[in-house]
Structure 1
Amino acid sequence: MKCLLLTLGLALVCGIYAVVIPQTRKDLDILKLAGTWHTMVMVASDLSLLVTENAPLRIYIKEMQPTPEGNMEIVLLKRWVCPQGCGRAARVKDACVELTVIAQKTKGPAVFTVNYQGEGKVTLLDIDYEHYLFFCLKASTHPKERAIVCQYLARTLKANTEVMEKFHRALETLPVPIQISLNFTQGKERCRV
């Protein structure tokens, strides 16, 4: 009995450090995610994830396409700044680059794993296939165990106040506080190729 209580206590203590992102979706039609998306808002639990233009998780989603295996191919844009010492050989010192990552389906209805900046987990919070998508990325290689980045994506570049409010309500359910929010609804500072 003492071992059982000790095990239960240890499990509870260790469980405190896990970040569980709540899901509102119980089903997902991956085919309806296909097409163009625009990053409207980015938020993060840690300033270092978004604060600079070339921050590790400051990515702009451009397009999604399902794969025959049921995974999702995601085309994203990322600002690349030439590191000090890259020399004159580098033709472009500050540019947006296009990257493709594969989000692999898991047993969760709206959860994927990705290998971007290390192993990560993407959780879709809410979806209106025709208008918006809310998701969060938990990067496992980040020094802060509970660091996450969330985005509000839209099908068009037009901002929707009601959807923005819905996104902020979804963020209130997260287990970590949000420290930084970047709003791109005015079209400023978008990364384009």
Structure 2
Amino acid sequence: MKCLLLALALACSVQAVVLPQTPRALDVLKLAGPWHAVAVAAQDAQEAVEPAVERQLLRMYVKELRPTPELNLEIILGVRDNGKCIEEKIIAKKTEIPTKFKFNYLAEQELILLDTNHEDFLFLCMEGTAMPPQKLACQYLARTLEAQPEIMDKFRADLKMLPTPMQVFRDLTQEEEPCRL
């Protein structure tokens, strides 16, 4: 019986994508304001072209973060829908883990704050958690539209620390920012 419970616990724990915690002390209030998408990464190039994943994770561009009094995050998104950009607002509710928020946009999702210095950059990942296999997409957000190669290098290095291989498939320093509203 103990072996069965151990095997079940192990199988359940392998399902979820585990992301490292941000090394800096997170102050959600300092994340308030506009952000610009600089780069987008996915688990593999095939996921970047899957329509369902595009709709749920890869076509959502964070435009602004607004912390609420309860320290949840109101997120203003630019979303590509039928070739047009529309604005969406979602509320990501805080969890027991300071760097993780849950929201429901087309399906249950998690927003994980991977790294930030609060002033220049924010690396975040969005994970669809409704059913396996989980889909993971990460974005490098910046306060300005200026490209900062050293931060892009840091983003790529942070992606290598994830348990799932990730690939930057959209470097927005080389093209116009999507869904500028």
TM-score, structure 1 length as denominator?
A: 0.83
Letter of the 2:71 counterpart: G
- Larger Cα Rg: Structure 1 or Structure 2? 1
Given that 1:79 and 1:191 are in contact with CA atoms closer than 8 Å, whether structure 2 keeps it comes out as yes
Unmatched 5+ stretches in structure 2? none
Letter of the aligned partner of 1:156 in structure 2? T
Runs of 4+ with deviation above 4 angstroms: 46-49
In the TM superposition, what are the counterparts of 1:74-113 in structure 2 within 5 Å?
A: 74-81=75-82, 94-113=83-102
RMSD of Structure 2 on Structure 1 (CA): 2.1
1:139 aligns with 2:128: yes
Q: Which has the higher helix share?
A: 2
For residues 50-77 of structure 1, the C-alpha deviation after alignment (integer angstroms, 9 at most, x for no partner) is: 3379921221111111111211111010
Equivalent position SS for 1:50: helix
Q: Which runs of 5+ in 1 are unaligned?
A: 82-93
**Does 1:174 find its partner at 2:142?**
no
Task: Identify the residue that residue 19 of structure 1 maps to in structure 2.
Answer: 17
Q: Which residue of 1 aligns with 2:115?
A: 126
C-alpha displacement at 1:180, in angstroms? 5.5
**1:41·1:183 contact (CA, 8 Å) conserved in 2?**
yes
* Aligned-pair CA distance for 1:188: 2.3
1:95 Cα shift?
1.6
Residues paired across the two proteins, number = 178
The answer for the alignment partner of 1:10 in structure 2 is 8
Counterpart in 2 of 1:90?
Answer: none
Q: Equivalents in 2 of 1:52, 1:11: separation in Å?
A: 31
Does the CA contact (< 8 Å) of 1:35 and 1:63 recur in 2? Answer: yes
Q: Report the residue type matching 1:176 in the other structure.
A: T
The one-letter amino acid paired with 1:23 is Q
Deviation at 1:186? 2.7
Report the equivalent of 2:104: 115
Distance 1:145 1:52, change over 3 A: closer
**Alignment partners' CA distance in 1, 2:35 and 2:150:** 18
TM-score by length of 2: 0.89
1:48–1:114 Cα change, 3 Å: farther
